Structure 1
Amino acid sequence: MYGFLFRPKWLLFHAVVVAGIVAMVFAGFWQLQRLDERKAFNERVVERSQSEPVDLRSVLARIDDGSLTQDAAEWLPVVIQGTYLPDQVLEFNNSQGGRAGDNVLTAMVTDDGDTVVVNRGFVPLGIDVPAAPEVEVEGLGYVRLTEVRDRGGMTDADDGEPLTEIRRIDLPRLAEQFPGEVAPVYVQLIAAEPEIVAGDPEPVVLPELSNGPHLSYAIQWFVFAFAVVVGWVLAVKRSLATRLKAAAAERTVEDHR
């Protein structure tokens, strides 16, 4: 009665169904993994960003001696003092508050003579980029890590000329055009003295700390997998019913002979 299930066409159908179910279940668990990663990221950002600010010099010293990794330092609030260099670089293709624009990157020479890249903030498109203050600045910001090119991402020009625009905050690339030894992390500015006023770059906001759609996506994938199982069962039952009906009709014809 069930021999038809082992015919080549049905075996191919079974293989497609199994492959689809495996792929959907895998996608569901992958979304759950993404959810766990998102929750861990949110907790890390909240915990570190709300800690007491420390001097950037102490963070750099601990990174240098190996007692603190760069990953563990990210999002720590730090205080930095120094003077901005006049040349600025725009990290383009950004958005904030529903507006497209650029982030303004300025190198600061600290009181110790180190060079630190500072993301002064966001400037909407069409707005002139304000010059950096020419006086000594005391800033408060978050430690951030250098950004790397994603697979398939475009690269920035490398013709030996200083960059005025950049796709990502690539510290090794920026270090080529700034004097001195450039710190291995940069600072995302929150506040400063002299005070940030209207017309200055707007401090970049923290990333959205939501769990995202990963849970709903996972549920959808599991529902899709279940629907495929139900579809397979219905297809088998329908084919079986059709064959039983045909067999019954054939017996009826033979009985009438």
Structure 2
Amino acid sequence: MSTGGRSPGRYRFLLSGRWAGIVAVAVVVSLACGGLGYWQLTRYQGKAEAIALVDANYDADPVAIEAVLPTSDSVLEDSRTWTPVTVTGHYLTDAAHPSVVLPQRPIGGSAADHVAAIFAVDGAAGETWLLTVDRGWYATDTFTDHGPQQEVPGGEVTLTVRLRPAEPLTDRDAPEGQVYGLAPAQVLTATTGDGGAAAGGDGRLVTGAYGVLADESPTTASPPNPLPRPAADLGNHLSYAFQWWIFGIGALAGAAILARREAFETHDFGPHSPNSPAARPAPRIEPPARTRRRSAEEEEDALIDAQLRERT
């Protein structure tokens, strides 16, 4: 029965279960690569914004703390991160814990502990504010006495600190005299043991920011090392983002190339294709020409002709 010369569609094989799986895998891989590329892009953008804040605020002239934080419970605006402020007051101290240790905070890839303390700012907005201060760091060494680096100056002190957003509360149980984050409430409790009352901590806790020490006058004989300026390194996140996106495009392109190759092989050279060797007519082989045997008369004439040629 004739089909009228019609042939199945070139890409009809894409409807098969095998090709449905291939396409699904290619789409999933492409979407995953797109998501990973977007994640790397957000990391790049986050670092770029952080570096822009350092460039804009880090070396600015110090201002009063009230110019940045109108109230003690104000949340530091992102745009004011690293803004320097100058404050005068005194450190809250406890006989057992003049300061608080913040362990496991590497500096430049090396193990380091930070020293944090609570500073009572006199006259901030007409009252006393309790500001958490990261005084600096020292290299972690269990065989060295770091008591001198943990001491804080007594009496009236003037500080210049750069403000940063307060860190969230942590539920990790820290040893006595230590904290695992710069959450002001936890630093205050670890410093005084009772929320600040016994150490003369009558004041309002600054809850939305803490300060990174830039200058202290007077200071101690062996203060901790000052924290370095944040590195202006964007990393390779942008190039990684483009690489992931290229991989995603490559997954789809690979599936398309594979489909085109299969369509070419099955349609143009498949068993039902007019170009298939099986579908081509076999070439006609002509039988070899039969050689006619010469008669006796023809042989005699040929012999006479040969003799005449020899005589001439």
User: How many residues get paired?
Assistant: 246
The answer to whether residue 138 in structure 2 is matched with residue 108 in structure 1 is no
Q: Could you tell me whether the CA contact under 8 Å between 1:63 and 1:69 is conserved in 2? A: no
C-alpha distance in 2, partners of 1:35/1:97?
20
Compute the displacement of 1:249 (Å): 10
TM-score normalized with structure 2 length: 0.69
Match of 2:84 in 1: 77
Higher strand share: 1
Q: Distance in 2 between matches of 1:245 and 1:224?
A: 32
Give, in whole Å, the separation in 2 of the partners of 1:64 and 1:117: 12
Correspondence list, 1:175-214, <5 A:
175-176=188-189, 177-178=195-196, 179-180=201-202, 181-184=204-207, 185-195=209-219, 199-214=222-237
Alpha carbons 1:63, 1:70 under 8 Å: kept? no
Q: How does 1:156-167 map to 2 (within 5 A)?
A: 156-157=172-173, 163-167=176-180
Residue matched to 1:29: 38
Distance 1:33 1:101 in 2: 29
Identical-pair percentage: 24
Gaps of 5+ in 2: 1-9, 190-194, 283-312
SS in 1 for 2:111: strand
- SS at the partner of 1:123? strand
- Equivalent in the alignment of 1:169: 182
C-alpha separation between the residues in 2 aligned to 1:251 and 1:73? 74
Unaligned 5+ runs, structure 1: none
- 1:1-257 correspondence runs (5 A): 1-60=10-69, 62-63=70-71, 69-86=76-93, 87=97, 88-112=99-123, 113-126=128-141, 127=144, 128-129=146-147, 130=149, 131-148=151-168, 155-157=171-173, 163-176=176-189, 177-178=195-196, 179-180=201-202, 181-184=204-207, 185-195=209-219, 199-243=222-266, 244-247=268-271, 252-253=277-278
Aligned-pair distance for 1:33? 3.5
Larger radius of gyration, structure 1 or 2?
2
TM-score (norm 1): 0.82
CA contact 2:152–2:219 (8 Å) conserved in 1: no
After superposition, give the CA deviation of every residue in 1:42-82 in whole Å (9 maximum; x if it has no partner).
2122212222101224433x24597x854343211011222
More displaced stretch, 38-47 vs 19-28: 19-28
What SS is found at the alignment partner of 2:104? strand
**CA 133–65 in structure 1, closer or farther in 2 if over 3 Å, else same:** closer
Distance in 1 between the 2:109 and 2:16 partners? 57
Distance 1:224 1:196, change over 3 A: farther
RMSD of equivalent CA atoms: 2.8
> Equivalents in 2 of 1:245, 1:36: separation in Å?
52
